[in-house]
Structure 1
Amino acid sequence: MHRSSILPHQLPTALDHNPEAAVLSLDCFDTLLWRNVHQPDDVFADLVQDGIDPGQRIMGERRARTEARINEERHEVTFKEIYTKLMTNADDAVRSAAIARELAAEARHCFPFRPTVELMDRAKAQGLKVIIVSDTYLDNAQLTELLRLSAGEDVLALIDRIFCSSDYGKPKAAGLFVDVLAELGVEPARILHLGDNPVADFDSPSRLGISALHLVQFDEATKERLRLETVGASVFNAAVRGSMPAYQPHRAGLSIAQPLLSDPTSALGYAALGPVFYGFGRWLLDEAADLEQRTGKPVRMLFLLRDGHLPHLVHQAIAPESANASRGEISRLTSSAATLTTEDAVTRYAKVATLSGYPADYTLARLLFPPAEANRIIRSLPKKGDQNQALFRYLSKPQTIDVIMRRSRAFCDRMIEHVRAATGIQPGETLMLVDLGYNGSVQNRVDRVLAEALGVHVAGRYLLLAESEVSGLDKKGFMDRRNYDDRALDALGSVVAVIEQLATVSQGSVIDYDPGGSPIRRDYTISDSQTRTRDRVQAACVQFARDVAGASHRRPQSDDVAWTHGAAATLIRLMFLPTKEELAVLEAFDHDINLGTSSHVKLFDPEVAERELKRRGPFYLKHSERMYLPAELRGQGFPLTLMAMASWRLRLDVQHSEFSDRHIVLPVMIADGNELSESVVHATPTHEGFFVATIPVGSGRFAIGAQFAKQYEWLQIEAVWFTPASTFLNPRSMHASKDFAAPYHLEGIEEVAPGLLKCTEEAGFLLVPPPPVQADVVLHIAFRPIAPRVKAPVTANPAEPALVG
């Protein structure tokens, strides 16, 4: 049967499919009433406070349905039957109260879908009857009350009749429409039915001659995103799908935008960033209102560029009337330069910089020395010995400190003028700094300076906040320690670079201000193609913020809490479970380091993960310092992604031995000058069938012959390399850049193709000469066995009699 389908945004014109219709028939749930959760049984999480776990509620319904089917051949059950099986020893009064609480939970999460309500309005205007035909364990009175509470009296007044499967003992697929036709007395062709279930809402009515349309809520890509959001949210918040629903208040908004979501770039902005920044934007408005109520004074929101650019665009979309929001530019560089106003601050920075081995030109630039002066200072440093120590002695001189402090005070005055010009803030008001986070370093440095110079209270509000110290400042995060532990926040902070690059503005980082407070910036060095792509993503994100309120005719009661958790789930999903389509949009992105430099790194590189996994195995992920590592794992198998996400989120103390619970015994020859000995090493598994053999070789002393041919006829070599022993023993450096290639020779082995080896002689081996270094090193050989060597069977000598018995 060919199904006629309709998309959510087309619902208001659905009557065009049957101009002769006298009755508009609608499914209830996910057609008229939508929930702001992932799936219906998420509502059961609200029952936990009454001592009923979601699993118990599901099992109670399953037992009731099984009994009805076996004992009475009935395909539908009632609410009372479900709670009889759920609360086996309770009396009717207790069960009735529990049923009422579940109905109240449904009412908290349900809302009327605006396109469906518009269709109902048009139907009534054309003189049609509107009926609801629902597969539900609610009876007519219960569903009517739910509609009253969640949809409102105005929507309920549009409905002429309600048919509930529980009242008839059969669902739509088992004959409910036969009863509907009999009671209405209308020809089937004069009815138009719509619903989201292809069997119940299209196949079943169509067989009876009823005109039907299948409501397709989401395309497959959107379904995948929504499903993976619940996976990510469940990993990061143990309450999800337990004592808290998997909130998805953006489901309805995504459904009406399906044509837009066919473009991967627009889909990234609309479906991934849109819910995140809309939820963040709503929270910022609530925070500003709360601060105004507490202080009785206006709150001036200052969105800190560059990362505050997209939050500011979304704020303008959802609060266009707001006059107290502006954009300002305070970077980590300028916040540091403006706060070197005390001897202690200068000395502390100089000590950290020189002890950390920062380049001298970098250190001097951040201590406000112009390039020509910095070059003169560098030339004056001794050519031999510890230059950093000499630089620190110079920076510690009282006259040098005085120069830095004087310049910093002037810099601070220029920054203050910039903030005053950007915000128009007055003494006694609150300055709310808005940024993505993660530590709030800018606020840490300038909070006191701004408060004293402007006579204001300073507050910081961030998308993600995980302070590395207890600052005691007025700071909050949309996601912070109030709802996530430090391990979860650290994991999120480790991949925030993808959000930074999508939220930023097309301009260089601020490095100074002119006397009037206007920013002076570095050159903008991101490519035009990346800028164009990011601008399209941001435009779609802003469009979501404008559109989403139009998806619901009436907000559900749980709307605020739903956006708090639903937006966070979307963020987690994008960070740790990006789709292939999203990565195709981001694959050419660079990440520019916002420190007043023009340094770029590739946002992610899948080839790095594939190489490192083959060479070192999953353990390398534990300490890998990549910008967007989850993106690099895409394509390496979902089990690996899920394992890595859980490990990062929980900070699991997993050691190398847990990843290497089997091994291959590889015979090796060890040559030391004229002496030759044989031994074995254990090669441990890495990834995709590869193994790595690790062999200490000393300080350029031993040559190693790996006797692969004894065991294999075919194998693949991935890489052969040396690692300094000091690096190898440091797990945080096991993937460090100090590795260097180990040239090798083949004896009795033929390289048929690059890396593909055929062992032509059983005595063949791969020979690695001693490395040309004096320090102790470790040799690694990453290989994949392909075909084992087949030993010829041993036969008896025909000249000798066989032994019998």
Structure 2
Amino acid sequence: MTEVADTSRHALLEDVHRMIADRSCEVLSLDIFDTVLWRRVPRPADVFGILGARLRAAGLCPDWVTDATFRRMRHTAEEKSRHGRDALGTEVSLFDIWRAMPTDVFDKALLEELVQAEIEVEREFTVVDLDIAGVIAQARKHDVPIILVSDTYFTAEHLSYLLDRPELDGLKDAQVFRSHQHGLDKANGLFEIVLKQLNLSPEQVLHVGDNEVADYEVPTELGLRTVHFRRLDEPYAVVLERENESLHPFGPYAENLHTTHGDFGITSLRAKTLATAAADSGSGRDTAFRFGAAVLGPVLTGFAEWVAWRAHQTGTRVLWCPMREGELLSKLVNNAAQVRGWDVEAKPIWLSRHVTSLAALEHFDTDSVHEFIRRSYHLSVRQLLSVLTLRSGEVPSLANDLDTIVDNGGIAERVAIALTETPHIQNRLKATFTAARERLIRYLRTTGALDGDDLTLVDLGWGGTIQLQLAKALRIAEIDLRPAGLYLATDDRSVRTYLAGLRAEGYLAQAGHPVDVASTIVRSPEVLEQCVNALCGSLIGFTEDSQPVLGRVSESQTQNTERLAAQEGILAFQRQWNRYVRTNPGWPELVSEPAAKDRLANILVSALKAPTAEEASVFGNWAHEDNFGSSVVTMVVPEDLRAAIPYLSPADLEDLHMRDSFWPALLAASDTGLAAASRALNLGAVSRDVFESSGEPFETRLRYRTVDDRWRDAGRKRVRINHNGLSFARLRFEHHDTVDVSLAIPGRPAVVRVDWIEARVIANGRHREEPLRWETPEDFAGLTFAECRWLGGNLVEFDSPHAAIWLPLASRAGGLVSSGTVTVAFSMLPQSLSNLAPKMPPANRIARITGRLREEYRAHGATGVAAGAARVAIRKLGGS
């Protein structure tokens, strides 16, 4: 893990420190709100909703005035007060604002009490900016006078109360210039008053503030030296917008704020963390750092704090974090425990699904071995035997299948039978799994993981597979220790763990609930996992002396650089959070408050559902390992789906299989129309029916024919028409001796423009590197059309719901196909369901025959062409 320098200086303030140190300014001028003090809410006015709740609780506000209602009333009262003063100007005090509130609702006799209630809320939710506090301390050290210049409705007494903090001792002698005091704000004359009263020339004053106009543009034009202490930059504003939309699509986030802790300071602390980034703006490394700091940073900081808290509560002193995530997670947990003062230590430990799966197998019947085999993804028989430490000669019945990919139940069943049909091989399997278990137990003993009364794992989670399999391995080894698990989230697969009587707790989601949180995270977990993983291969076993054996590192140098940047962002946010925990007694925890979990879940879920175009461009090029004994590496956004993006609708994204795309929303992010439609659907702003064709639903259907000349159904997918007027279907099949497939594209009478058909198959037991494609007129001319007609070019008229094009997979692939995925991109013009409408004329006969001969030649060479011609001649003779 690359360590990030723990700098306490905000990047925007480096010049300020330098100018103070060399006395380049006579006076340091500071804005107050969002500069010296910031609020623990997303926006300053968001405290009004919290104030409304406090007033109701105190009996100063009627029950019918909701938080959102009060927020709007308070905002409108301020506008009314400012615009109703005529010659007195627009600058008002807090008392003026409260006088504009309705008498029938708020008793004006309690004016002082109402104003004081607002001041108390402001005091509670304002936080001293530690970076600015550092600037104040620097100015005091070098005897540089400080003034405060603020556009505010607070009185001098109010400001004194709000600024009375130990960190701001350096402001005790600071002169304060208030807009209400002088009747002018910073953009309209307050700075001129400052210069006149202090008898200073503009260049003698250095001003720091957050407002682009009032604190930067206006004083700069006057000649003051300025630093724009910007809170939110544009990319971060986009992130906040998607979170606000996701949380509450028809209103602001403020209406959902927690009345005790606001947003826990998360919005401002992310902004401060992003300001420390040193990467080039817009670069892949910068995007990854920002994703780590603004998305994963707060989520994993909350998770680590919860883990340490739960361990502290249960008296668990040592936690074990499975690698490869364990290196970063243990560091985060230890940082959280240290800053909170909890006696908890987290340690990395080498565990993996693959290793624990080997160690947990205790039955060696055909069904058990078959289940084990099917857990891996596209291993060849040779690779599988290697995993089981068997030589090919030991299983002679598999000698002809060594390079065959185990991609369907048929071949998996044959292999399972071959591995269990003789006592000799069964004994070898038992020895292999026993040895794997013994090496695992021996390793665990060397780490001390088996020394205590409990063994608690800390991981990202999902199905709790490692915990469950480890528990089985320990039971088989007769070790009386039941591992527990603390996870970021668990899905419905984790019910196996609960039914085994194992404790498995989830922070953001548990056992698949809340459904939206669990389903979104588990549907697209790969980038989250990659951002947390150490830069090493996955665990595939242990040596006899308990050293981990790791697989190869398959990621590119670019991906690893970006991954490190994401981890730097995660750690940078946690350091920022812990700074405020350390210096603010009573700083809110992210552990037990449901509102904290909801806020963090919203950050992660909205990022997964609506990644930005910049995030898509970076993470879409990342690769992901299968990590279960297989060497298969898959792109997060596979290359074959990039061409399909113009054809996809939002519902198509939901239909995609995990193997199609680990993160479907990344596909949407690269197309503005698809992204907008997907976002609207996810937010519930529009009905799903908007993206479905009207009337009875029609389906694209796939059937496959095997060598015994039997047709079988493979699957079906609803036909949709997207914002481009285009449609998409992807269907898969699995059978060890498939010859060809039929594709009923529109599922109804229609004229269809077939832009391309692509089939990715495993033939003769091997991956075919290049896909089979049909996209030119010549490609379609050679196909068989059942109850449909080729019209020429790439147009086909389908006469019935079952009308289909036949694709000769085996002849094109050079052998029988055992599994495959067929993708079609098309557009269609529906025709009458009565089938009485006039039919369009088919392509001319010569073009069809030429196309058929070309297909025969492509599949079988000159011999195939001759055989095809003979068949035609026989048919003609038979008809004469």
SS where residue 267 of structure 2 aligns? coil
Is 1:421 equivalent to 2:446 in the alignment? yes
Q: Which of 615, 623, 626 is matched with 1:590 structurally?
A: 623
Q: Which residue of 1 aligns with 2:786?
A: none
Contact persistence 1:68–1:77 (CA under 8 A): yes
Is 1:38 equivalent to 2:53 in the alignment? no
SS where residue 520 of structure 1 aligns? strand
What are the Cα deviations for residues 407-466 of structure 1, in whole angstroms up to 9, with x where unaligned?
4343222212222323455222x4332222222221122236558866556332233333
Query: How far 1:624 sits from its partner (Å)?
Result: 1.4
Shift of the 559–404 alpha-carbon distance from structure 1 to 2, 3 Å rule, reads same
Letter in 2 for 1:163: F
CA–CA distance in structure 2, aligned partners of residues 227 and 526 of structure 1: 32
Q: Which of 323, 329, 338 is matched with 1:311 structurally?
A: 329
What are the Cα deviations for residues 655-713 of structure 1, in whole angstroms up to 9, with x where unaligned?
5x7433599xxxxxxxxxxxxxxxxxxx974333547899xx999999x99989xxxxx
SS where residue 552 of structure 2 aligns? coil
What are the Cα deviations for residues 22-76 of structure 1, in whole angstroms up to 9, with x where unaligned?
x422111121112344322333443464454245313432243234313435313
SS where residue 549 of structure 2 aligns? strand
Q: Which of 451, 459, 466 is matched with 2:491 structurally?
A: 466
Q: Which residue of 2 aligns with 1:107?
A: 123
Is 1:7 equivalent to 2:12 in the alignment? yes
Query: How far 1:587 sits from its partner (Å)?
Result: 4.5
More contact order relative to length (CA 8 Å, sep ≥ 6): 1
Contact persistence 1:360–1:378 (CA under 8 A): no
Is 1:145 equivalent to 2:161 in the alignment? yes
Shift of the 526–128 alpha-carbon distance from structure 1 to 2, 3 Å rule, reads closer
Contact persistence 1:11–1:116 (CA under 8 A): no
Is 1:603 equivalent to 2:623 in the alignment? no
CA–CA distance in structure 2, aligned partners of residues 337 and 287 of structure 1: 32
Q: TM-score, normalised by structure 1?
A: 0.73
Contact persistence 1:705–1:768 (CA under 8 A): no
Q: Which residue of 1 aligns with 2:855?
A: none
SS where residue 325 of structure 2 aligns? coil
Q: Report matched runs for 1:356-371 at 5 Å.
A: 361=381, 368=388, 370-371=390-391
Shift of the 79–538 alpha-carbon distance from structure 1 to 2, 3 Å rule, reads same
Q: Which residue of 2 aligns with 1:578?
A: 611
Query: How far 1:623 sits from its partner (Å)?
Result: 0.6
Contact persistence 1:337–1:366 (CA under 8 A): no
Is 1:78 equivalent to 2:78 in the alignment? no
Q: Report matched runs for 1:228-243 at 5 Å.
A: 228-232=242-246, 234=248, 241-243=255-257
SS where residue 546 of structure 2 aligns? coil
Is 1:333 equivalent to 2:327 in the alignment? no
Contact persistence 1:114–1:552 (CA under 8 A): no
Q: Which residue of 2 aligns with 1:491?
A: 520
Shift of the 351–435 alpha-carbon distance from structure 1 to 2, 3 Å rule, reads closer
CA–CA distance in structure 2, aligned partners of residues 230 and 738 of structure 1: 42
Q: Which of 622, 625, 634 is matched with 2:669 structurally?
A: 634
CA–CA distance in structure 1, aligned partners of residues 11 and 374 of structure 2: 66
* Worse-superposed segment, 72-81 or 547-556: 547-556
* Worse-superposed segment, 263-272 or 485-494: 263-272
Letter in 2 for 1:57: R
CA–CA distance in structure 2, aligned partners of residues 265 and 693 of structure 1: 32
Q: Which residue of 1 aligns with 2:827?
A: 782
Query: How far 1:491 sits from its partner (Å)?
Result: 1.2
CA–CA distance in structure 2, aligned partners of residues 354 and 574 of structure 1: 32
Q: Report matched runs for 1:301-700 at 5 Å.
A: 301-312=319-330, 314=332, 324-342=345-363, 347-348=367-368, 350=370, 361=381, 368=388, 370-372=390-392, 375-378=395-398, 399=423, 404-405=429-430, 407-423=432-448, 426-428=451-453, 430-447=454-471, 449-450=473-474, 456=481, 458-470=483-495, 471-472=497-498, 473-481=502-510, 485-539=514-568, 541-542=570-571, 545-546=574-575, 549=578, 554-555=583-584, 558-561=587-590, 568=601, 570-572=603-605, 574-605=607-638, 608-609=641-642, 611-615=643-647, 617-625=649-657, 626-637=661-672, 640-645=674-679, 647=681, 654=688, 658-660=691-693, 685-688=721-724, 690=726
* Worse-superposed segment, 64-73 or 92-101: 92-101
Is 1:60 equivalent to 2:78 in the alignment? no
SS where residue 57 of structure 1 aligns? helix
Contact persistence 1:660–1:684 (CA under 8 A): yes
Contact persistence 2:376–2:630 (CA under 8 A): no
Contact persistence 2:360–2:472 (CA under 8 A): no
Letter in 2 for 1:427: G
Shift of the 650–583 alpha-carbon distance from structure 1 to 2, 3 Å rule, reads same
How many residues get paired? Answer: 711
Contact persistence 1:265–1:536 (CA under 8 A): no
Shift of the 193–740 alpha-carbon distance from structure 1 to 2, 3 Å rule, reads closer
CA–CA distance in structure 2, aligned partners of residues 221 and 55 of structure 1: 31
Letter in 2 for 1:688: N
Q: TM-score, normalised by structure 2?
A: 0.68
CA–CA distance in structure 2, aligned partners of residues 536 and 461 of structure 1: 26
Query: How far 1:235 sits from its partner (Å)?
Result: 6.5
SS where residue 131 of structure 1 aligns? strand
Q: CA RMSD in A?
A: 5.1
Shift of the 593–142 alpha-carbon distance from structure 1 to 2, 3 Å rule, reads same
CA–CA distance in structure 1, aligned partners of residues 554 and 625 of structure 2: 8
Q: Which residue of 2 aligns with 1:201?
A: 215
CA–CA distance in structure 2, aligned partners of residues 369 and 648 of structure 1: 48
Contact persistence 2:517–2:605 (CA under 8 A): no
Query: How far 1:719 sits from its partner (Å)?
Result: 0.3
Q: Which of 286, 290, 307 is matched with 1:271 structurally?
A: 290
What are the Cα deviations for residues 565-616 of structure 1, in whole angstroms up to 9, with x where unaligned?
665555445434434444444453211111121101111147725x434445
Is 1:116 equivalent to 2:152 in the alignment? no
CA–CA distance in structure 2, aligned partners of residues 635 and 263 of structure 1: 16
